[in-house]
Structure 1
Amino acid sequence: MKNIFHFVSFFAIFMMSSCVAKRDRTIAIDVLLLLPQNLSEEAILLNTAILKNNPDNFTLDKDHVPHITLLQCYVRQSDLPKITMALNGLYNMIENESLWANELQYKKDQPQSFASIGIEKSSALLAIHERAIALVQPYITTGGSQNAFIPTKDGSPIDQFTIDYIPKFVSNYSYENYNPHISLGVSETSVLHYLEKNEFREMKFKAPAVAVYQLGKYGTARKLLWKSE
């Protein structure tokens, strides 16, 4: 009987430890602005054209949501309730602001380039970017790995560039270095020239919500964790 009691106790402690470890794992998140339908469709259209030229890209769809990043970082999963509570009210900063998707960004002097829809860095957009960092900063952690991301459907590993990029976002890609954009993928520059001339449309828009997503491969927004009301 004593052996059974010890076994049951050990099993209970093991299960509790496993649950705590699972809840407290490090995850990669994106605090982002969602897009109105017309701009989201524009991004998907351009991404589809890029995929035809270079299939080795991410696909923008309902599981890889087009968006504008405000902040990417690693956090503890157990801190998510505190983070989302801190972010309540953040959308008020941008709700009535008009934003401008004003260019197709890519390196025109190279044979191949990463492309994105550039968003004008207005004072309102910069302000909400900086406020998002300030609100989440107390919960940012380090040590993210493959397990911090939503797994790929084909089982391929998360790219090392993305794993290394996340903890550098605040130090290297924020404030004066912040470049608001909608990622589209990598393509031959000749294709991007054509898209810029014939397909891309400048667009004024308002962001319908702020959201938090868990990231996947190539920094895609994969799993919705929270959305402003």
Structure 2
Amino acid sequence: MSQIAIDVALIPPDDITQLAIKINKTFSDTVAENYVLDVKTCIPHITLAMGLITEEQVSEVSKKLEVLAKKFSALVLKITHIKTSARPDGKVISGLEIERTPELQKFHETILDEMNSIFTYDNVQKEMFYSPPPVNEIPMFWVKGFAKTSVRENYKPHITLGVGEPKDIINPVKFVASKLALCHLGNYCTCRKVLFSTKLEK
């Protein structure tokens, strides 16, 4: 059974998605890095959980997400600022930092608990990611370390903007996120293909 690298994510509403795409277009390395945000093949998103599943488990995970979505209301979220961090090669990756509200934290942890017996993190291979574009070592490192470095008290919700640093400061922005998606991850843990989506509708 072949495994794929997946992301359980919130897809922001159109205005926030377009904001991320607009900022991404200002980065000089966007095309060279194959990190061109759009609404279909490189989708702005807020990761809730990631890991490896078999292709046969897509249906099982989708059903679990559909059940969970009926237990949670749409989430009122807030972009607080832009955060930058350096890659090992010195290039900068930027993201819109999201306030970690109690409701978002609870949803994140509920999904982790629900998927604990399904998601794995061992033996991550490039072939498990969506391609093209080509996959480098970075997403393998991120997926492998996700359960140890980025969950529960270490959860840092954000929308990655791409490789580059925004020229302008953004003001805090509130928005409502209701779309929950299961995505096939590509290079840099981008959401390259939506495998399933539903809406939070408690």
CA 1:94–1:39 in 2, change beyond 3 Å: closer, same or farther? farther
Give the drift of 1:73: 0.5
What is the RMSD computed on CA atoms of the aligned residues? 1.9
Of 96, 103, 106, the match for 2:81? 103
Give the drift of 1:93: 5.2
- Higher share in strand: 2
Larger of the two Rg values belongs to structure: 1
Q: Which runs of 5+ in 1 are unaligned?
A: 1-23
Contact 1:103–1:117 at 8 Å: present in 2 too?
Answer: yes
The alignment's TM-score, normalised by the length of structure 1, stands at 0.78
- Higher share in helix: 1
Superposed, 1:39-58 pairs within 5 Å as 39-50=16-27, 52=28, 55-57=31-33, 58=35
CA 1:53–1:64 in 2, change beyond 3 Å: closer, same or farther? closer
> How many pairs does the alignment contain?
193
Of 146, 149, 164, the match for 1:169? 146
Q: Deviations over 1:140-166 (max 9, x none)?
A: 12223121111114xx3x111211210
Aligned counterpart, 2:106: 127
Q: Which runs of 5+ in 2 are unaligned?
A: none
Superposed, 1:59-74 pairs within 5 Å as 59-61=36-38, 62-74=40-52
Contact 1:94–1:207 at 8 Å: present in 2 too?
Answer: no
The alignment's TM-score, normalised by the length of structure 2, stands at 0.88
Contact 1:95–1:206 at 8 Å: present in 2 too?
Answer: no
Aligned counterpart, 2:3: 26
Superposed, 1:1-229 pairs within 5 Å as 24-50=1-27, 52=28, 55-57=31-33, 58-61=35-38, 62-92=40-70, 94-107=72-85, 113-141=92-120, 142-153=122-133, 156=134, 158-187=135-164, 191-192=165-166, 194-196=167-169, 200-229=170-199
Instruction: Quote the Cα distance in structure 2 between the aligned partners of 1:138 and 1:90.
Output: 16
**Structure 1 segments of 4 or more deviating over 4 A?**
none
Q: Sequence identity of aligned pairs in percent?
A: 25
